[in-house]
Amino acid sequence: MDFRLSEEQQMLKDMTRKIAENEFGPRAAEIDEKEEFSWENKQVLEENGLLGVQVPEEYGGAGAGMVSLAIVIEEVARVCAATSAILTTQALATDPFIIAGSHEQKLKWLKPMAEGAVIGACAITEPGAGSDVTGIRTTAKAKDGGYVIDGSKIFITNGSVSDTIVVVAYTDKEKKHKGISLFVVTKDTPGFSVGKKEKKLGIRSSDTSELVFENCFVPEENLLGNLGEGFKVLMKVFNYTRPGIGAQAVGIGQGALDTVVSYCKERVQFGKSLAEFQGLQWMMAEMALQIEMARTMVYRVCSTIDDEPDSRDIPRLASMAKWYASDAAMQITTDAVQILGGYGFVREYPVERMMRDAKITQIYEGTNQIQRIIVANSLLK
Ligand SMILES: Cc1cc2nc3c(=O)[nH]c(=O)nc-3n(C[C@H](O)[C@H](O)[C@H](O)COP(=O)(O)OP(=O)(O)OC[C@H]3O[C@@H](n4cnc5c(N)ncnc54)[C@H](O)[C@@H]3O)c2cc1C
């Protein structure tokens, strides 16, 4: 593993930073306030080829790998975490195809997502099943050369703005996790509808919706991967996508630190700039340390995924990176609000938004309690 970014990766980082600062930064507070999905931001991601960074070129992506995707997610999250959730979710929707899709399925559904024309979603969570995926109640019953899906999903990112949804359902409940399968449902399928849209603490312009499947028929060709192997595929998907949540957290933390540093140089109290107070300098140094450690962990697992995609180290490293980076982002953003004082608490500055946005990184794609279980299991098996 090389700890330096390649020339292409550095260029990608610089380009994404520029786009994020020029396009997403100025709109970040407004779309947060309105709690509205930004089609304008989605358009910018599409036009710059950022919606399929890790997808192979053959299927419309950039074929640039996971380190590159982490770089892009971080730079977008640095100014607008909600917009970076479009990217992390696009990975959650495209990775099942990369891992388990047939050539035809990849051409039909993966390519339009990777090219950015189509937004994807991945629907796992249900009212009674969050951390425990095997608790889902959605079923897919074989009928007339296809499957009839019944059930409902909640908290689905991009749920109401997506055209292509990977749906997790039981095809044989008796077999528990070995009876779970994945299906592709497109938004125009009869029996599919969008339910309640959530109002949230953070990433408020990211779309989070309930999805309902009532007698929803999909043909056989919409079964993604082998029957009964959905859970296995999903766990592999999470190993590849959790580092993306880590990158999102690193970006949020970096955004907060950058705001703090420039604020401290300007703000004067007791006849000195805040930057001259050692108590605050040490807080900033600790923030920088946490960001550096989190980024290193994210790059480490991403480069392992790029170089050795079947390495047995990946689940542990992915969980550690997501867990550490998200806790760091929460700590850093909370400290950032403290350092800006009253100005940190009001919406004139972005750190209160960053603090609200950081929280979700500790919760989705497996809470940090679940990450601890995965790491412990890797030690004990
Ligand atoms: C904004 C947002 C976006 C989301 N996007 C998506 C999406 O796109 N697709 C999707 O399918 N889901 C999505 N989710 C769902 C998300 O992944 C779940 O909320 C998360 O996995 C936790 O599940 P839960 O909310 O049911 O909590 P629960 O599983 O009920 O957990 C409650 C608490 O118990 C703890 N806990 C649970 N089990 C254990 C255990 N064994 N040991 C110790 N502690 C435990 C948890 O850590 C948590 O603190 C999203 C959620 C939100 C809020």
Q: Is the CB of 374 under 6 A from ligand 1?
A: no
d(CA 158, CA 93): 10
Give yes or no for residue 2 having a pLDDT over 90: no
* Ligand 1 geometric centre to CA of 19 (Å): 32
How far away, in angstroms, is 359 Cα from ligand 1 center? 12
8 A C-beta contact, residue 203 and residue 362: no
Q: Which residues are catalytic?
A: 365
Residue with CA at minimum distance from ligand 1 atom 17: 364
Structure confidence at residue 55 as a pLDDT band (50, 70, 90):
very high
Q: pLDDT for 301-356, tens place per residue? A: 999 999 999 999 999 999 999 999 999 999 999 999 999 999 999 999 999 999 99
Q: Is the CB of 89 under 6 A from ligand 1?
A: yes
In the numeric block, the tokens 């689940």 are attached to: 315
Contacts of 52 (CB under 8 A, 6+ apart): 59, 60, 61, 62, 90, 94, 113, 114, 115, 116
The set of residues, in sequence order, having a beta carbon less than 8 Å from that of 358 and lying 6+ positions away, is: 81, 202, 249, 252, 253, 256, 326, 329, 330, 332, 333
What is the predicted pLDDT for the residue at 245?
A: 98
Q: What is the pLDDT of residue 3?
A: 75
DSSP output for 216-247: EEEEGGGEESSTT-HHHHHHHHHHHHHHHHHH
Residue 360 near ligand 1, beta carbon < 6 Å:
yes
Mean confidence (pLDDT) of the chain: 98
Q: Is 94 in the pocket of ligand 1 (CB under 6 A)?
A: no
The string of pLDDT tens digits covering residues 67-117 is: 999 999 999 999 999 999 999 999 999 999 999 999 999 999 999 999 999
Atom of ligand 1 nearest to the CA of 363: 20
Alpha carbon nearest to ligand 1 atom 44, residue:
369
Ligand 1 site, residue 181, Cβ cutoff 6 A = no
Ligand 1 atom 52: the closest Cα is on which residue? 155
The pair phi, psi for residue 140, each rounded to 5°, is -130, 115
**What's the gap in Å between 303 CA and the centre of ligand 1?**
27
Give residue 296's pLDDT.
97
pLDDT over 90 percentage in the chain: 99
Does the beta carbon of 197 sit less than 6 angstroms from any atom of ligand 1?
no
The counts of H helices and E strands in the chain are 13, 10
pLDDT tens digits along 136-187: 999 999 999 999 999 999 999 999 999 999 999 999 999 999 999 999 999 9
CA of 362 to the centre of ligand 1 (A): 10
Give the C-alpha separation, 7 to 4, whole Å.
Answer: 9
Indicate the helix (H) or strand (E) that contains 293: helix 278-307
| 372 Cβ below 6 A of ligand 1 | no
What is the model's pTM?
0.98
Amino acid at 304: T
* Burial of 240 from C-beta contacts in 10 A (0-12 / 13-18 / 19+): buried
> Which neighbouring-strand residues pair with 151?
213
Distance 318 CA to ligand 1 centre (A): 17
Smallest CA separation from ligand 1 atom 7, residue: 156
